[in-house]
């Protein structure tokens, strides 16, 4: 009887002969759509079950001291699981996928298929103030990567499957196929070509269909358009877009600094500080508990239901018409701290849900305040809450199309498509003035590892200085004579020779053109030493620096060859423009040529 492994190998051989790669890829994309939708369903169900189990005994509307305990317990459990069971960094899921796609790497570890789901369901279920979308995106991309490797698809197909997994995850968890595709294009920077658009469509549509089968046809957020959009509200819409841009800037800058602060702390200090800060914030501002989707549903429902948001807080007994504004403004300011404390303390989650949460509250507070002050025509608060969600998402993620289509698909609010688009574009335009990278791309950009749609820069980032080093170039020392140098020149085909001391430190270079007038005069061979005719190197390239920096030094010095040194100044080899250009052409053809197969 044939072993299952042998049967599978036989199937792969048959597939290679009878099914073209691009056709079989569509079948794998179909499977990715099914599995990502199932993963999204599992994650949402797990979070709901944990929250229901913990909060069924909450006393309403009185203060509940369970808020002081649950978030700390959730961060502790998730942190211990990651540290001692996973033993790998699974945070910043979207950034990891962005890095994989940026660097044209298709391998995502198999454990990412399930570890992020477990850690984030515990974190969020216990009240962690983060979203489940980044973990599910990492899970989806891991599913795509590992399914592709299971069927032994080629590298180009594996890269597409990584993007398909992300698209399927967004489409599955939000029931938003268009937003899933746009997210991959705008946020993950996957090039849109004919070879990638069809696989993305197959995965996104399949994942959305599966989500409909599992959870019904209803949109994720219940929204009913009560007042249609009118042109006299455009000035207020424009101002909201600009405000969302500045709020997005606040979110990115504060989260970035808090992330750096937590990263510098020892592990247990991170947990203690993060858990304590999160619990106190949730205790005083209960809407910060969990993803915040209940708050979004309340604000989108219209009417006076927003008054219930102050339940379980110190504000629940105050009946002033400004109570909700006084309560929600600190919620906006402190949500960023709660999210950073959750992730910094050891929890696992993303900023997708916090972005929607903050945008919804910002749009509501903006319209509610203007209505109370009477400075504008009446603004439907639920409509502006919807616009705020799109605006903040567009600004934080630098993705105006994703923000526009996601909010429309999440709520069925297509009648507000024009104002949603206006707010998204203005928010994006505003933040671009101050911050050119999204919250996901910023981490990679700081390390010089981010690839954009600018292909020249993209290819340069793919090239590494250490991979293009020429190490067979002979070196000379300061005490060598001219005669010794002539002997070195006679066995070399180069016209530049690095000068190093006994410790290998680069001191300068000898240029053959500089000594051409004396190198053929034997009577001078013992009179001159290298120290007398060496010159300083026009520039030295850092071994661990980016290729973009190296090319800038070539451009500034007009040199064709430059020495490479490490952090201590030790000579490592020579880098030539010829080797860079040759590798550039190879990478350009390999990664950016769009073929049919």
208 & 236 share domain: no
pLDDT computed for residue 464 by the predictor: 77
Tell me if 401 is assigned to some domain: yes
Q: How far is residue 497's CA from residue 100's CA, in Å, rounded to a whole number?
A: 38
Q: Is the peptide bond before 61 cis (omega within 30 degrees of 0)?
A: yes
pLDDT computed for residue 502 by the predictor: 86
- DSSP secondary structure code for residue 535 in this structure: B
392 & 422 share domain: yes
Instruction: Tell me the two tokens of residue 165.
Output: 């997994």
Q: How far is residue 122's CA from residue 71's CA, in Å, rounded to a whole number?
A: 10
- Decide: 195 and 160 in contact? Cβ < 8 Å: yes
> Domains in the chain: how many in total?
3
- Report the relative pairing of strands 541-542 and 496-500 from DSSP bridges: unpaired
Helix then strand count (H, E) for the chain reads 24, 5
Determine the average pLDDT of the residues in 204-232.
Answer: 86
Tell which wins on pLDDT, 292 or 204: 204
Given a cut of 50, is residue 595 above it in pLDDT? no
- Element containing residue 571 per DSSP (H, E): strand 571-576
Tell me if 571 is assigned to some domain: yes
51 & 81 share domain: yes
Please report the sign of the dihedral spanned by the C-alpha atoms of residue 349, residue 351, residue 355, residue 356: negative
Backbone torsions φ then ψ of 57, nearest 5 degrees? -105, 10
Task: Please list the alpha-helical segments (H only) found in 103-216.
Answer: 115-125, 133-150, 155-174, 177-186, 194-215
Tell me if 221 is assigned to some domain: no
Maximum average pLDDT range among 73-77, 444-448, 466-470, 526-530: 73-77
52 & 128 share domain: yes
Tell me if 225 is assigned to some domain: no
Q: Which of 215, 243, 266 is the last residue of a domain?
A: 215
Q: How far is residue 433's CA from residue 426's CA, in Å, rounded to a whole number?
A: 11
46 & 86 share domain: yes
CATH of the domain at 564: 3.10.580.10
Exposure letters 552-590 (e unless 16+ CB within 10 A, then b)? ebbeeeebebbbbbeeeeebbbbbbbebbeebbeebeee
Given a cut of 60, is residue 591 above it in pLDDT? no
314 & 334 share domain: yes
Beta bridge partners of 542: 565
414 & 494 share domain: no
Tell which wins on pLDDT, 500 or 226: 500
Q: How far is residue 147's CA from residue 32's CA, in Å, rounded to a whole number?
A: 8
CATH of the domain at 73: 1.10.3080.10
Band of pLDDT at residue 5, cut at 50, 70 and 90:
low
383 & 259 share domain: yes
- 268, 260, 258: which is closest to 79 by C-alpha? 268
pLDDT computed for residue 437 by the predictor: 80
579 & 495 share domain: yes
Tell which wins on pLDDT, 465 or 398: 398
247 & 187 share domain: no
Q: What would the pLDDT profile of 324-341 be if each residue is shown by its tens digit?
A: 888 899 999 999 999 999
Instruction: Tell me the two tokens of residue 400.
Output: 């105006």
Q: Give percent above pLDDT 90 in the chain.
A: 29
pLDDT computed for residue 84 by the predictor: 87
Q: What is the pTM of this model?
A: 0.75
- 317, 308, 284, 304: which is closest to 381 by C-alpha? 304
Determine the average pLDDT of the residues in 335-348.
Answer: 91
Q: Distance from first CA to last CA of the chain, Å, rounded?
A: 35
Tell me if 223 is assigned to some domain: no
Place of tokens 């997210």: 183
Band of pLDDT at residue 544, cut at 50, 70 and 90:
confident
Q: What would the pLDDT profile of 405-451 be if each residue is shown by its tens digit?
A: 988 888 776 788 899 999 999 999 999 999 888 887 776 666 555 55
Domain that holds residue 90: 4-215
50 & 80 share domain: yes
Tell which wins on pLDDT, 353 or 546: 353
- Report the relative pairing of strands 496-500 and 506-511 from DSSP bridges: antiparallel
Tell me if 528 is assigned to some domain: yes
- 246, 350, 332: which is closest to 288 by C-alpha? 332
Q: How far is residue 258's CA from residue 570's CA, in Å, rounded to a whole number?
A: 36
Q: How far is residue 546's CA from residue 253's CA, in Å, rounded to a whole number?
A: 25
Q: Which of 215, 248, 269 is the last residue of a domain?
A: 215
136 & 280 share domain: no
């Amino acid at each position: 009887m044939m072993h299952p492994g042998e049967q599978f190998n036989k199937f792969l051989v048959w597939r290679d002969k009878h099914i073209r790669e691009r056709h079989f890829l569509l079948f794998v994309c179909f499977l990715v759509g099914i599995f990502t939708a199932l993963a999204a369903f599992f994650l949402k169900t797990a979070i709901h079950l944990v929250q229901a189990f913990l909060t069924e005994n909450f006393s309403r509307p009185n203060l509940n001291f369970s808020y002081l305990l649950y978030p700390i317990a959730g961060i502790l459990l998730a942190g211990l699981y990651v540290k001692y069971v996973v033993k790998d960094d699974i945070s910043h899921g979207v950034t990891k996928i962005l890095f994989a796609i940026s660097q044209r790497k298709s391998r995502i570890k198999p454990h990412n298929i399930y570890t992020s789901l477990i850690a984030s369901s515990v974190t969020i279920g216990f009240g962690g103030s983060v979203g489940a979308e980044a973990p599910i995106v990492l899970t989806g991309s891991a599913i795509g990567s590992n399914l592709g490797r299971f069927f032994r698809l080629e590298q180009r197909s594996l890269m597409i499957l990584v993007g398909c997994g992300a698209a399927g995850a967004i489409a599955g968890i939000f029931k938003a196929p268009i937003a899933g595709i746009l997210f991959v294009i705008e946020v993950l920077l996957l090039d849109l070509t004919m070879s990638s658009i069809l696989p993305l469509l197959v995965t996104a549509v399949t994942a959305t269909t599966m989500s409909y089968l599992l959870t019904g046809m209803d949109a994720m957020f219940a929204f009913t358009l009560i007042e249609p959009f009118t042109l006299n509200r455009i000035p207020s819409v424009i101002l909201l877009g600009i405000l969302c841009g500045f709020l997005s800037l606040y979110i990115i800058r504060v989260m970035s600094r808090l992330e750096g602060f937590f990263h510098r702390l020892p592990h247990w200090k991170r947990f203690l500080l993060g858990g304590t800060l999160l619990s106190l914030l949730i205790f005083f501002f209960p809407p910060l508990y969990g993803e915040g989707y209940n708050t979004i549903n309340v604000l989108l429902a219209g009417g006076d239901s927003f008054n219930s948001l102050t339940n379980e807080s110190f504000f629940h007994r105050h009946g002033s018409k400004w109570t909700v504004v006084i309560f929600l403004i600190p919620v906006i300011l402190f949500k960023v701290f709660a999210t950073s404390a959750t992730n910094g303390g050891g929890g696992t989650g993303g900023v997708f849900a916090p972005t929607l949460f903050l945008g919804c509250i910002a749009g509501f507070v903006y319209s509610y305040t203007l209505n109370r002050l009477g400075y504008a025509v009446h603004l439907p608060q639920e409509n502006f809450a919807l616009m705020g969600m799109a605006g903040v998402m567009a600004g934080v993620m630098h993705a105006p199309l994703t923000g526009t289509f996601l909010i429309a698909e999440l709520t069925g609010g297509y009648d507000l498509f024009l104002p949603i688009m206006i707010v998204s574009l203005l928010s994006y335009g505003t933040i671009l003035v101050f911050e050119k990278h999204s919250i996901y791309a910023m981490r990679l950009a700081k390390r010089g590892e981010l690839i954009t749609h600018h292909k020249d820069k993209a290819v340069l980032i793919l090239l590494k200085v250490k991979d293009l080093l020429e190490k067979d170039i002979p070196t000379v020392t300061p005490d060598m004579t001219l005669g010794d140098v002539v002997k070195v020149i006679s066995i070399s085909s180069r016209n530049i020779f690095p000068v190093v001391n006994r410790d290998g430190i680069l001191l300068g270079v000898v240029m053959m053109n500089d000594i051409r007038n004396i190198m053929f005069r034997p009577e001078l061979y013992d009179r001159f030493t290298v120290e007398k005719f060496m010159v300083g190197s026009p520039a030295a390239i850092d071994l661990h620096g980016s290729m973009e920096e190296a090319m800038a030094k070539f451009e500034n010095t007009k040199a064709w060859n430059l020495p490479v040194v490490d952090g201590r100044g030790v000579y490592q080899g020579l880098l030539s423009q010829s080797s860079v250009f040759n590798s550039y052409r190879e990478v350009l053809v390999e990664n950016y040529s769009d073929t049919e197969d």
